Amino acid sequence: MGQRGLLSGRVALLTGADPAGTMKEVLLAQGARVAVAGATADLTAAATSSSDPDDRVLAVPCHPGDPAAVGRAVGTVVRRLGRLDHLVNLVAVPPRPRPLIELDPQSLRNDLQRDLVTPLTWIRHAHRRWMAHHSGTVVTAATDVVRDGAQGTALAALTELTEWLAAELAPRVDVHAVVPSPSHHGARYRAHLADALPGLLTHAACSGAPGGGAPGEPVPGPVLVLSDRCAPPSRAA
Protein backbone atom coordinates (compact mmCIF):
# COMPACT_ATOMS: atom_id res chain seq x y z
CA MET A 1 0.00 0.00 0.00
CA GLY A 2 1.41 3.43 -1.01
CA GLN A 3 2.66 5.81 1.62
CA ARG A 4 0.61 8.92 2.30
CA GLY A 5 2.30 12.29 1.99
CA LEU A 6 2.28 15.64 0.23
CA LEU A 7 2.66 13.93 -3.17
CA SER A 8 0.30 10.97 -2.69
CA GLY A 9 -1.39 9.96 -5.93
CA ARG A 10 0.98 12.06 -8.03
CA VAL A 11 3.67 11.21 -10.55
CA ALA A 12 7.08 12.88 -10.56
CA LEU A 13 9.68 12.63 -13.31
CA LEU A 14 13.26 13.00 -12.05
CA THR A 15 16.06 13.85 -14.47
CA GLY A 16 19.75 14.63 -14.05
CA ALA A 17 22.37 13.51 -11.56
CA ASP A 18 21.08 11.99 -8.32
CA PRO A 19 23.98 9.63 -7.52
CA ALA A 20 22.93 8.81 -3.97
CA GLY A 21 19.24 8.57 -4.89
CA THR A 22 18.43 11.21 -2.27
CA MET A 23 15.86 13.17 -4.27
CA LYS A 24 14.20 10.00 -5.50
CA GLU A 25 13.80 8.80 -1.90
CA VAL A 26 12.38 12.20 -0.87
CA LEU A 27 9.71 11.94 -3.58
CA LEU A 28 8.89 8.35 -2.63
CA ALA A 29 8.66 9.26 1.05
CA GLN A 30 6.02 11.85 0.17
CA GLY A 31 3.89 9.23 -1.60
CA ALA A 32 4.73 9.93 -5.25
CA ARG A 33 5.28 7.43 -7.98
CA VAL A 34 8.66 8.31 -9.45
CA ALA A 35 10.01 7.95 -12.98
CA VAL A 36 13.79 8.26 -13.21
CA ALA A 37 15.11 9.11 -16.66
CA GLY A 38 18.74 8.78 -17.68
CA ALA A 39 21.46 6.55 -19.02
CA THR A 40 21.16 2.81 -18.61
CA ALA A 41 23.82 2.58 -15.89
CA ASP A 42 22.16 5.32 -13.89
CA LEU A 43 18.79 3.64 -14.21
CA THR A 44 20.10 0.29 -13.01
CA ALA A 45 21.30 1.95 -9.82
CA ALA A 46 18.03 3.87 -9.46
CA ALA A 47 15.89 0.78 -9.83
CA THR A 48 17.91 -1.37 -7.44
CA SER A 49 18.67 1.16 -4.70
CA SER A 50 15.12 2.17 -3.85
CA SER A 51 13.85 1.48 -0.33
CA ASP A 52 10.26 1.50 -1.58
CA PRO A 53 8.47 -1.86 -1.17
CA ASP A 54 5.55 -0.93 -3.44
CA ASP A 55 7.42 -0.85 -6.75
CA ARG A 56 6.68 2.84 -7.39
CA VAL A 57 9.91 3.53 -9.33
CA LEU A 58 9.88 3.46 -13.14
CA ALA A 59 13.28 3.51 -14.88
CA VAL A 60 13.11 5.21 -18.28
CA PRO A 61 16.21 4.84 -20.50
CA CYS A 62 16.98 8.09 -22.28
CA HIS A 63 19.89 10.01 -23.75
CA PRO A 64 19.16 13.51 -22.40
CA GLY A 65 21.10 15.22 -25.17
CA ASP A 66 18.66 13.86 -27.79
CA PRO A 67 15.42 15.91 -27.91
CA ALA A 68 13.56 13.10 -29.66
CA ALA A 69 14.63 10.64 -26.95
CA VAL A 70 13.44 13.09 -24.28
CA GLY A 71 10.07 13.29 -26.00
CA ARG A 72 9.78 9.51 -26.09
CA ALA A 73 10.74 9.27 -22.41
CA VAL A 74 8.04 11.74 -21.38
CA GLY A 75 5.55 9.82 -23.49
CA THR A 76 6.56 6.58 -21.75
CA VAL A 77 5.97 8.13 -18.32
CA VAL A 78 2.48 9.35 -19.24
CA ARG A 79 1.59 6.07 -20.91
CA ARG A 80 2.89 3.82 -18.12
CA LEU A 81 1.94 5.91 -15.07
CA GLY A 82 -1.11 7.70 -16.45
CA ARG A 83 -0.11 11.28 -15.64
CA LEU A 84 2.82 13.66 -15.03
CA ASP A 85 2.29 16.11 -12.19
CA HIS A 86 5.86 17.13 -11.38
CA LEU A 87 9.11 17.47 -13.28
CA VAL A 88 12.34 17.73 -11.26
CA ASN A 89 15.51 18.55 -13.19
CA LEU A 90 18.75 18.15 -11.21
CA VAL A 91 21.57 20.25 -12.63
CA ALA A 92 25.12 19.47 -11.50
CA VAL A 93 26.81 22.72 -12.71
CA PRO A 94 30.37 21.37 -12.24
CA PRO A 95 33.21 23.83 -11.57
CA ARG A 96 35.82 24.75 -14.16
CA PRO A 97 39.31 25.14 -12.65
CA ARG A 98 40.33 28.21 -14.63
CA PRO A 99 39.21 31.82 -15.19
CA LEU A 100 36.27 32.29 -17.53
CA ILE A 101 38.42 34.26 -20.00
CA GLU A 102 40.66 31.18 -20.40
CA LEU A 103 37.84 28.69 -20.77
CA ASP A 104 37.50 26.82 -24.05
CA PRO A 105 34.30 28.18 -25.64
CA GLN A 106 33.28 24.63 -26.52
CA SER A 107 33.43 23.68 -22.83
CA LEU A 108 31.12 26.55 -21.94
CA ARG A 109 28.81 25.60 -24.79
CA ASN A 110 28.67 22.02 -23.47
CA ASP A 111 27.91 23.29 -19.96
CA LEU A 112 25.06 25.48 -21.18
CA GLN A 113 23.69 22.60 -23.27
CA ARG A 114 23.61 20.32 -20.22
CA ASP A 115 22.53 22.85 -17.58
CA LEU A 116 20.16 25.03 -19.63
CA VAL A 117 19.08 23.52 -22.94
CA THR A 118 18.51 19.99 -21.65
CA PRO A 119 16.26 21.07 -18.74
CA LEU A 120 14.34 23.30 -21.15
CA THR A 121 13.85 20.30 -23.45
CA TRP A 122 12.38 18.24 -20.60
CA ILE A 123 10.09 21.13 -19.63
CA ARG A 124 8.95 21.62 -23.21
CA HIS A 125 7.96 17.97 -23.67
CA ALA A 126 6.34 17.65 -20.23
CA HIS A 127 4.32 20.78 -20.95
CA ARG A 128 3.17 19.63 -24.37
CA ARG A 129 2.38 16.07 -23.35
CA TRP A 130 0.57 16.68 -20.05
CA MET A 131 0.95 19.89 -18.08
CA ALA A 132 -0.52 22.32 -20.61
CA HIS A 133 -3.83 20.50 -20.30
CA HIS A 134 -3.77 19.23 -16.71
CA SER A 135 -1.44 21.63 -14.80
CA GLY A 136 1.82 20.73 -13.07
CA THR A 137 4.96 21.91 -11.35
CA VAL A 138 8.54 22.14 -12.58
CA VAL A 139 11.59 22.48 -10.32
CA THR A 140 15.11 22.78 -11.73
CA ALA A 141 17.67 22.59 -8.95
CA ALA A 142 21.42 23.08 -8.87
CA THR A 143 22.66 20.12 -6.89
CA ASP A 144 25.84 21.84 -5.72
CA VAL A 145 27.85 24.93 -6.58
CA VAL A 146 31.40 26.08 -5.90
CA ARG A 147 31.28 29.56 -7.30
CA ASP A 148 33.36 30.33 -10.39
CA GLY A 149 32.85 32.19 -13.65
CA ALA A 150 31.47 29.29 -15.67
CA GLN A 151 29.06 28.27 -12.92
CA GLY A 152 27.94 31.85 -12.40
CA THR A 153 27.20 32.17 -16.11
CA ALA A 154 25.16 28.96 -16.12
CA LEU A 155 23.23 29.91 -12.97
CA ALA A 156 22.47 33.41 -14.30
CA ALA A 157 21.11 31.86 -17.48
CA LEU A 158 19.07 29.31 -15.49
CA THR A 159 17.60 32.10 -13.35
CA GLU A 160 16.59 34.12 -16.40
CA LEU A 161 15.16 31.06 -18.15
CA THR A 162 13.10 30.17 -15.07
CA GLU A 163 11.66 33.67 -14.69
CA TRP A 164 10.59 33.80 -18.34
CA LEU A 165 9.07 30.31 -18.27
CA ALA A 166 7.24 31.04 -15.02
CA ALA A 167 5.61 34.06 -16.66
CA GLU A 168 4.81 32.24 -19.90
CA LEU A 169 3.33 29.08 -18.36
CA ALA A 170 1.41 30.62 -15.46
CA PRO A 171 -1.11 30.01 -14.04
CA ARG A 172 -1.50 26.40 -15.13
CA VAL A 173 2.14 25.38 -14.66
CA ASP A 174 4.37 26.58 -11.81
CA VAL A 175 8.06 26.83 -12.69
CA HIS A 176 10.80 27.17 -10.07
CA ALA A 177 14.57 27.01 -9.80
CA VAL A 178 16.61 26.38 -6.67
CA VAL A 179 20.17 27.67 -6.29
CA PRO A 180 22.40 28.00 -3.22
CA SER A 181 23.44 31.30 -1.71
CA PRO A 182 27.19 32.07 -2.09
CA SER A 183 27.95 30.74 1.39
CA HIS A 184 25.74 27.66 1.22
CA HIS A 185 27.11 24.52 -0.43
CA GLY A 186 28.09 20.92 0.07
CA ALA A 187 26.17 18.35 2.08
CA ARG A 188 24.28 20.94 4.13
CA TYR A 189 22.91 22.62 0.99
CA ARG A 190 21.90 19.27 -0.48
CA ALA A 191 20.09 18.37 2.75
CA HIS A 192 18.19 21.67 2.65
CA LEU A 193 17.38 21.10 -1.02
CA ALA A 194 15.91 17.68 -0.16
CA ASP A 195 13.78 19.26 2.58
CA ALA A 196 12.62 22.12 0.34
CA LEU A 197 11.67 20.03 -2.69
CA PRO A 198 8.27 18.65 -1.56
CA GLY A 199 7.17 22.13 -0.47
CA LEU A 200 8.13 23.66 -3.80
CA LEU A 201 6.18 21.00 -5.65
CA THR A 202 3.09 21.68 -3.51
CA HIS A 203 3.38 25.47 -2.98
CA ALA A 204 4.58 25.14 0.62
CA ALA A 205 8.22 26.13 0.26
CA CYS A 206 10.39 28.13 2.61
CA SER A 207 9.35 31.75 2.81
CA GLY A 208 12.84 32.93 3.76
CA ALA A 209 11.63 34.04 7.16
CA PRO A 210 12.93 32.43 10.35
CA GLY A 211 11.11 29.16 10.86
CA GLY A 212 10.13 28.86 7.21
CA GLY A 213 6.81 29.31 5.48
CA ALA A 214 3.60 27.69 6.58
CA PRO A 215 2.21 24.91 4.37
CA GLY A 216 0.22 26.43 1.54
CA GLU A 217 2.13 29.74 1.54
CA PRO A 218 2.96 30.85 -2.00
CA VAL A 219 6.58 30.68 -3.03
CA PRO A 220 7.98 34.26 -3.22
CA GLY A 221 8.98 34.25 -6.88
CA PRO A 222 10.13 31.52 -9.25
CA VAL A 223 13.77 31.41 -8.08
CA LEU A 224 14.52 30.22 -4.54
CA VAL A 225 18.00 31.05 -3.24
CA LEU A 226 18.50 28.52 -0.51
CA SER A 227 20.51 29.59 2.52
CA ASP A 228 21.00 28.60 6.15
CA ARG A 229 18.25 31.09 7.06
CA CYS A 230 15.72 29.03 5.10
CA ALA A 231 14.06 26.32 7.18
CA PRO A 232 11.79 24.36 4.79
CA PRO A 233 8.82 22.38 6.02
CA SER A 234 9.78 18.99 7.42
CA ARG A 235 9.13 15.94 5.32
CA ALA A 236 5.98 14.05 6.25
CA ALA A 237 6.45 10.86 8.28
- Residues 35-92: tens digit of each pLDDT: 999 876 456 555 555 555 567 999 999 999 999 999 999 999 999 999 999 999 999 8
Report yes or no on 235 lying in a domain: no
Listed in sequence order, the DSSP H helices in the chain are 22-29, 40-48, 67-81, 105-112, 118-126, 132-134, 149-169, 186-201
Report yes or no on 232 lying in a domain: no
Nearest to 38 by CA among 19, 56, 53: 19
Q: Is the pLDDT of residue 99 over 90?
A: no
User: What average pLDDT is seen over the chain?
Assistant: 83
Report yes or no on 196 lying in a domain: yes
Report yes or no on 121 lying in a domain: yes
Report yes or no on 3 lying in a domain: no
Q: What pLDDT is attached to residue 185?
A: 72
Q: What pLDDT is attached to residue 149?
A: 80
Number of domains in the chain: 1
Q: Is the pLDDT of residue 212 over 90?
A: no
Report yes or no on 40 lying in a domain: yes
What average pLDDT does this structure show over 160-173? 96
96, 150 Cβ separation under 8 angstroms: yes
Q: Is the pLDDT of residue 170 over 70?
A: yes
Report yes or no on 218 lying in a domain: yes
Residue 201: give the domain boundaries.
11-226
Q: Is the pLDDT of residue 161 over 90?
A: yes
Report yes or no on 236 lying in a domain: no
For residue 205, give the CATH number of its domain. 3.40.50.720
Contacts of 179 (CB under 8 A, 6+ apart): 141, 142, 145, 155, 158, 159, 223, 224, 225, 226
